[in-house]
């Protein structure tokens, strides 16, 4: 391990992979780099910028380590600092994969890198251009004074002449770190919301990770650790949550249809004292014995027929709802609670019917972006990302507050014991409010 420890800081090599836009190959390069170093026996801790559920699944398999999502707005600077500090204590290298383009979003990938002084490498698909790739890279590198750019990784660089044209156009201060030939062997499988879930294509991903590692070795990146100096990650600690949910058992849906779960959410539930029991709405007959239920997001639209055919589970959902025990349903979990869901083939399937309304996969555009979920119990940072629509819904309890836009955000519904919306909540942003959602009896006892 390369980390150097003292009481206040940990020093560890770190690299932030960014790009001028989405679709440049950031995740492919990040996964390949993590696997290449893992093959060398190195401990690689990978982080993903923003509220992404799919990329972290891929990167966790590639690195063999859990992957946290980091966002300065949703999680806060201290939370991010804590995660970096803890990772640096054990890692030989920290890799951060950016989101979208380098300066897109508020906060952006560049904001996160600048806050923690992590050097950035630009990953760019250079097919169809040469000197222009150098010009774009120089523009990105010089756009802000507080961002360090270590160099360019030219993806889809077809020939030696192509490489030479790009390299000659770059200044000495912005080196060409590597050129990567176009390869179908390393491309990661995708679908309508992004990458395919790792659990669905685990064997195929292993083949692509190994091919990706070879791809980087051929590009001369085998000794990449030697190119980067240590970054200082300062000490940080998180507030200790009180055990408001002690003796509370929370059943959490987790399978191919419901997998959009922040590891941070599970950890805060456990810190609050809750016991988590996982179950599968697809494969299990009933919900396990529990005091509360969490239905996270995922891909119910891809498994709507199987969900509808699991009549025993639908009956169990109805019976659980009738007990008035708390239920939190997010995005895909919200769709599962409705009367029915129309899938991508325009086939309509019966769902749990514990909230009036219908869901449908309609149109190519959906809603995405950061929002604050407004509950009587408190405000919780969240985000939305979906391509479906809901119809014939009851009156909303409230609407999310968008991060930057005055228009109302996602509708939040409350029906008896059920809180449901398209929003994915980040539990650590307000542990007290989360505790009250899973145990409403606490609302008067906790000083919100």
Which residues carry out catalysis?
331
Answer whether 176's CB lies under 8 Å from 130's CB: no
Q: How far apart are the C-alpha atoms of 412 and 288, rounded to whole Å?
A: 26
DSSP secondary structure string for all residues of 309-332: H-HHHHHHHHHHHHTT--EEEETH
Q: How far apart are the C-alpha atoms of 201 and 307, rounded to whole Å?
A: 21
Answer whether 415's CB lies under 8 Å from 328's CB: no
Q: How far apart are the C-alpha atoms of 44 and 94, rounded to whole Å?
A: 6
From its phi and psi, is residue 81 left (phi > 0), alpha (psi between -120 and 50) or beta? alpha
Q: How far apart are the C-alpha atoms of 212 and 35, rounded to whole Å?
A: 8
Closest alpha carbon to 216 in 165, 154, 160:
154
Q: How far apart are the C-alpha atoms of 253 and 274, rounded to whole Å?
A: 15
Answer whether 15's CB lies under 8 Å from 118's CB: yes
Spell out the residues 6+ positions from residue 261 whose beta carbon is closer than 8 angstroms to its own. 53, 252, 254, 296
Label the pairing between strands 149-155 and 340-342.
unpaired
Longest dimension (CA), the chain: 71
Spell out the residues 6+ positions from residue 206 whose beta carbon is closer than 8 angstroms to its own. 61
Q: How far apart are the C-alpha atoms of 348 and 170, rounded to whole Å?
A: 55
């Amino acid at each position: 391990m390369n980390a150097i420890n003292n009481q206040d800081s940990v020093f560890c090599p770190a690299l932030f992979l960014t790009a001028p836009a989405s679709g440049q190959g950031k995740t492919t390069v990040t996964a390949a780099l993590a696997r290449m170093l893992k093959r060398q026996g190195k401990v690689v801790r990978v982080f993903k910028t923003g509220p992404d559920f799919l990329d972290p699944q891929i990167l966790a398999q590639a690195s063999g380590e859990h992957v946290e999502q980091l966002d300065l707005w949703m999680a806060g600077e201290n939370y991010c600092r804590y995660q970096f500090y803890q990772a640096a204590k054990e890692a030989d290298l920290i890799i951060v994969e950016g989101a979208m383009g380098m300066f897109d979003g508020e906060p952006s990938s560049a904001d996160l890198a600048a806050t923690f002084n992590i050097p950035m490498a630009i990953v760019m698909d250079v097919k169809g251009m040469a000197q222009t790739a150098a010009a774009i890279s120089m523009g990105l590198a010089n756009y802000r004074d507080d961002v360090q750019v270590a160099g360019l990784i030219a993806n889809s660089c077809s020939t030696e002449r192509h490489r030479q044209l790009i390299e000659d156009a770059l200044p000495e201060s912005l080196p060409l770190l590597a050129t990567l030939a176009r390869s179908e062997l390393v491309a990661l499988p995708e679908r309508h919301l992004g990458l395919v879930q790792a659990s669905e294509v685990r064997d195929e991903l292993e083949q692509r990770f190994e091919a990706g590692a070879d791809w980087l070795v051929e590009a001369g990146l085998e000794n990449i650790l030697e190119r980067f100096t240590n970054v200082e990650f300062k000490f940080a600690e998180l507030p200790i949550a009180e055990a408001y949910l002690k003796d509370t058992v929370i059943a959490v849906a987790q399978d191919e249809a419901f997998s959009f779960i922040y590891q941070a959410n599970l950890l805060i539930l456990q810190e609050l004292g809750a016991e988590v029991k996982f179950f599968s709405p697809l494969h299990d007959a009933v919900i396990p014995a529990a005091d509360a239920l969490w239905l996270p997001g995922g891909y119910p639209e891809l498994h709507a027929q199987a969900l509808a055919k699991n009549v025993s589970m639908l009956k169990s959902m109805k019976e659980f709802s009738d007990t008035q025990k708390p239920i939190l349903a997010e995005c895909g979990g919200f769709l599962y609670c409705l009367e029915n869901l129309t899938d991508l083939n325009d086939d309509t399937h019966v769902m749990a019917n514990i909230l009036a309304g219908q869901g449908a996969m309609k149109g190519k555009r959906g809603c995405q972006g950061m929002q604050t979920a407004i509950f009587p119990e408190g405000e919780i940072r969240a985000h939305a990302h979906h391509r479906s629509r809901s119809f014939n819904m009851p009156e909303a309890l409230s609407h999310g507050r968008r991060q930057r836009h005055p228009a109302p955000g996602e509708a939040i519904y409350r029906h008896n014991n059920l809180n449901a919306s398209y929003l994915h909540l980040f539990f650590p942003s307000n542990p007290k409010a989360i505790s009250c959602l899973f145990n409403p009896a606490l609302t008067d006892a906790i000083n919100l």
